[in-house]
Amino acid sequence: MSLSETKSAGPLLQAVRFLARKGRRVWLLTLSGKEQLTANMLRLSFGGNDLGELAWKRGQDLVIELPQADGTTARRHYTIRKHDGHTIAIDFVLHGESPAGDWARAANIGDRIAAVGPRGHTYVRPADWHLMIGDETCIPALFAMIEGLSRTERVFAFIEIADDAERQTVESAAAVNITWLPRNGAPPGSSSILYDAVESFAFPQGLGHASIIGETHNVRAIRRRLIERGLGKDQCSAEGYWRQGRIGGHDHA
């Protein structure tokens, strides 16, 4: 984003200046599309003049600055679900009233936000088989990674969702086996269904790599157990994407 663009950015200016001061590349994103994927998942697409220069690894995220009605800015991590050179898509989990969800629901085509990144340690590692685990917040990262795999690769995914209607489909050249785990009324983050399902997964032959992302306590418990069962620490990438009572941010698992 050029300085002349920041001058016409109005309410964005403060956020852009804050991010630029830290020496980070700032992307000015303009909302160009809005699609309700499921009851709880809302996709927003954004354009930007310089998005062709955004180099990313599938699974990585942006830190986005969301203006709030009270004049404050909510800073949150969101995964780049898709990037086609000129447009990026971000999928928002709607989990009740919250700054990011409320902003996404109310956003209008043409609205502008600032973002920095890409960043983060969620991306595909070389492996004979990929174990991908998480709750609904993991879907954008896991599906972005799955879409980029080749036909020789194998994925075993365990994904916790609110109910069966939250299932999504993903296209991939790889052999992909997804086990959907509906909570059916249990609150997010409270259930052991993900842990229990992964416990019953027998590791295939060869070198495996596990990506575990979602609610922090669940992520930590699953990572610990996979390591107890024989996966090396370097075979596990884990990150807490949200935690009860935590506002934005992330936890290294």
* Residues within window 158-197 making contact with ligand FAD, judged by CB under 6 A: 188
Which of these segments, 29-37, 45-53, 123-131, 240-248, binds ligand FAD (CB under 6 A)? 240-248
Burial of 243 (0-12, 13-18, 19+ CB in 10 A): middle
With CB under 6 A, what is the number of residues at the site for ligand FAD? Answer: 27
Select the residue interacting with ligand FAD from 99, 117, 118, 134 (CB under 6 A): 99
Q: Write the secondary structure of 205-224 as one string of H (helix), E (strand) and C (coil).
A: CCCEEEEEEEEHHHHHHHHH
Q: How far is the CB of 137 from ligand FAD (least distance, A)?
A: 4
Edge-to-edge order in the sheet of strand 82-83: 73-79, 61-67, 112-119, 26-38, 41-47, 87-93, 82-83
d(CA 58, CA 67): 27
Note whether 248 binds ligand FAD by CB under 6 A: yes
Select the residue interacting with ligand FAD from 48, 117, 134, 140 (CB under 6 A): 140
Q: How far is the CB of 67 from ligand FAD (least distance, A)?
A: 13
Note whether 56 binds ligand FAD by CB under 6 A: no
Indicate the DSSP class of residue 56.
-
Note whether 244 binds ligand FAD by CB under 6 A: yes
| Structure token pair of residue 124 | 């595909």
* Residue 99 · residue 66 · CB < 8 Å: yes
Closest to ligand FAD by CB, 6 vs 218, is: 218
Select the residue interacting with ligand FAD from 9, 37, 74, 170 (CB under 6 A): 74
Note whether 218 binds ligand FAD by CB under 6 A: no
Select the residue interacting with ligand FAD from 117, 120, 134, 208 (CB under 6 A): 120
d(CA 103, CA 83): 21
Select the residue interacting with ligand FAD from 15, 29, 73, 101 (CB under 6 A): 101
Select the residue interacting with ligand FAD from 91, 153, 160, 166 (CB under 6 A): 91
DSSP string, 146-205: HHT--TT-EEEEEEEESSGGG------SSEEEEEEEE-TTSPTT---HHHHHHHTPPPPS
d(CA 184, CA 126): 35
Site residues for ligand FAD per CB under 6 A: 61, 74, 76-79, 91-93, 95, 98-101, 120, 137, 140, 188, 241-248, 250
